[in-house]
Amino acid sequence: MLKIAPSILSADFAVLGAECADVQRAGADLLHVDVMDGMFVPNISLGIPVIKSLRRATDMFLDVHLMIEKPVRYAEAFCRAGADLVNFHVEADTQENTLRAIELVRAQGQKTGVTLKPKTPAEAVKPYLGLVDLILIMTVEPGFGGQSFMHDMLPKIRAVRELIDVCAPGTELEVDGGIDGTTALLVTEAGANVLVAGSAVFGKTDRAAAIREIRDNAVI
């Protein structure tokens, strides 16, 4: 099932609750929340207090994308703050600690995902297939909104889709970075079903039209 996930990184943080309500009315399926620590990526965004406030402000599904070093340290705290799904970068710690982080989130009853940076190969998802609800493939270098889609990620999306279909059917395949009406066609053709879009939704005044454009161009 196709899901559109506006990334709040491109929202107006001074009126975040209203921004979230606006994209919900506009037809968004979930909210994508980018957490950055200035170490794993060269930018700082938001953390646990903002997620707590968001949890009170919206009933939308919160997909939390952790771009932080050693995220296992905060896995339970993000669950308690109100995340519905916590995404861990496979590059952010050892495999053992990433598996531990996944276990901690599952024990709290929340969903989990693993995320791959552009240079990380498709095979890196193998240890986690069957344990996570979602695989997130970055289609830009993580850290900033508004970058151009990396077309050379399309073969990786196809490869992960094949691995999912063989080893863990039902796992969602999310893409993040440079998604708009044009690239929505390419990534859904390649097998993605959850599309994160920051600037292509929050950067537009008519969010309903922006979401409709992405939905209409997707081939699922």
- 214 contacts 195 by C-beta, under 8 angstroms: yes
The binder of Zn ion chosen from 133, 176, 180, 213 (CB under 5 A):
176
> Measured from the CB atom, is 71 or 145 closer to ligand DX5?
145
Beta bridge partners, 64, equal 33, 86
Contact positions vs ligand DX5 (CB under 6 A): 7, 9-10, 32, 34, 65, 140, 142-147, 176-179, 196-200
**Partner whose binding site includes residue 178, from Zn ion, ligand DX5, none (CB under 5 to 8 Å by kind):** ligand DX5
Among 114, 115, 161, 159, CA closest to 141: 115
What amino acid positions are annotated as catalytic residues?
34, 176
Tokens describing residue 83: 């995340």
156 binds Zn ion (CB under 5 A): no
Nearest residue relative to ligand DX5 (C-beta):
198
> Measured from the CB atom, is 48 or 168 closer to ligand DX5?
48
- 195 contacts 174 by C-beta, under 8 angstroms: yes
**Partner whose binding site includes residue 33, from Zn ion, ligand DX5, none (CB under 5 to 8 Å by kind):** none
Among 54, 60, 57, CA closest to 78: 54
Q: What is the rounded distance in angstroms from the CA atom of residue 160 to the CA atom of residue 124?
A: 10
Which residues of the shown chain bind Zn ion in the complex (CB under 5 A)? 34, 65, 176
